[in-house]
Amino acid sequence: MPHLIDSHAHLDFEDYRADLDAVIARARAAGVERVVLIGLWRAPGDFGNALALAAAQPATFAATVGIHPHECAKVPEEDWRAMEAAARDPRVVGVGETGLDFHYDLSPREVQEASFRRSIQAARAAGKPVVVHVREADEACARVLAEEGVPPAGGVIHCFTGDWARARTYLDLGLYLSVAGVVTFKAAGDLREAVRRVPRDRLLVETDCPFLAPVPFRGKRNEPAHVAHTAAQVAELWGTTVDEVGDVTSANARRLFRLG
């Protein structure tokens, strides 16, 4: 059985309220040893319960704290200060997801960029890695990261879906790349070629659940157990075993997030 870490999951979403224990049991049965929960701002004074879940089950969960580009225009200053304070909590392993999303543009682009910069600065001040969301905004994202500088603790482009040229840009900035179920999709040939070429010590695997379930679960609710299918696709691309992919990507996740 592989030893896997799902490096990006949203198990504090309402999608799992009724069956979280069963979801966790299935993850363990599939070889998932740790899950990084992404704690995001939801409403004034509310960052969800990712940190509470991680505190209750530290052997299973770790948590980040962040402000998503979709929501950043709504966040009051007091919640920004609360996020920056939470980032310094020793139980928090990263800042984000933050970044730029020019597909939906749910927040104005200039507000997204300001939020992204402030989040990078918060990660640097806290000594934590930054977790980056980017959609249809790679040029702007790379520019901001180059101008601000990736925090010394590092960072990851979560749910990377680009080609090798985009991968190389982020790798050259010193970032890790994390792939989700998209790598199993029929149309993702450019992504698969990028994964084939990414240095093995710079790749993570994730679900981004409840989104982006891999084949054969595409279109259904995703969950951490399904990261094994993403790892299997990576193993095929690397010409190795799922166990080896699990060992390598889990070591990378532990190094990035300082997981015990």
Residue-level pLDDT at 1? 84
**Mean pLDDT calculated for residue range 65-71:** 98
Q: Over range 168-183, report the average pLDDT.
A: 98
Banded pLDDT at 256 (limits 50, 70, 90) = very high
- Return the percentage of the chain with pLDDT > 90, whole number: 99
Dist. CA 73–CA 35, nearest whole Å: 29
What b/e readout covers 217-254, taking b as 16+ CB neighbours within 10 angstroms? beeeebbbbbbbbbbbbbbbbbeeebebbbebbbebbb
Q: Does residue 10 have a known ligand-binding role? A: yes
Predicted pLDDT of residue 198 = 98
Residue spans of alpha helices (H) in the chain: 20-29, 50-56, 77-87, 109-126, 138-148, 164-172, 189-197, 227-238, 242-257
How much is the mean pLDDT over the chain?
98
Whether the per-residue pLDDT at 260 is higher than 90: the answer is no
pLDDT for 248 beyond 90: yes
Taking residues 168-187, report their average pLDDT: 98
- For 94-150, what is each residue's pLDDT tens digit? 999 999 999 999 999 999 999 999 999 999 999 999 999 999 999 999 999 999 999
- The whole-number pLDDT of residue 21 equals 97
Which whole number is the average pLDDT over 41-59?
A: 97
Strand order, beta sheet including 155-157: 4-9, 32-40, 61-66, 92-101, 130-135, 155-157, 176-179, 203-205
Q: 122: closest CA among 67, 52, 49?
A: 67
Q: Confirm whether residue 208 is marked as ligand binding.
A: yes
User: Confidence band (pLDDT; 50, 70, 90) for 247?
Assistant: very high
| Residue 133 labeled ligand binder | yes
Which domains does the chain show, CATH number per domain? 4-257 (3.20.20.140)
Across 233-251, average pLDDT: 98
pLDDT band for 251, please (50, 70, 90 cuts). very high
Q: What is the pLDDT of residue 71?
A: 98
